[in-house]
Amino acid sequence: MTIQNNPQQGLLLVFTGNGKGKTTAALGMAFRALGHGQRVCVIQFIKGDWKYGELHTARQFEDQLDFHVMGRGFTWQSDDLDKDRDAAHKAWDFAVRTIESGQYDLVILDELTYLPHYGILAEKEILELIRHRPSSMNIVITGRHASPELIEVADLVTEMREIKHPYTNGTKARKGVEF
């Protein structure tokens, strides 16, 4: 699916790996697109209702940026996996409608890779939607465990690899750094 010399053709970017910074990189793409007057939609599949700095900043761009936090904070230690699956399916249905609408220049599907990894969504559905998106739309997908198939169809893949993190030494998450 690699695109060559067609500036109107949308790209698929994947930020994956075990290191921190995948969502941050995607949001950097969002702010770059906003700086060029483009319409952006961020759909977060896992993050729950906690408050973090990006949400406060996003409100300043309400005319160009739609930001949807649709998860329940799903982790392998969830208190209700059925509710997590239901929220993930609702977020996916919303993502399908959003992409098919064609009203955005950039759509960020934050933490989407977890859905096929945990068996919540068949990856073929993701790949099918990507293949049939509006031709000029850029899509960013983030999350650990990007599959070989997703990597193959992507135009850009960056793997975040943790080398060192203050959390391993007992440092708690900090405003402005982790949230």
Catalytically active residues are 18, 20, 22-24, 32, 74, 76, 111
Scan for tokens 């009203």, then name that residue.
103
User: Which among 3, 79, 91 is positioned nearest to 46, based on CA atoms?
Assistant: 91
Q: CA 138 → CA 27, 101, 106, 143, 171, distances in Å?
A: 13, 14, 5, 17, 36
- AA letter at 5: N
The closest of 13, 6, 61 to 37, measured between CA atoms, is 61
Phi-psi region of 56 (alpha: psi -120 to 50; beta: other; left: phi over 0): alpha
Strand-pairing partners, residue 142, are 15
Rounded Cα distance, 93 and 88, in Å: 9
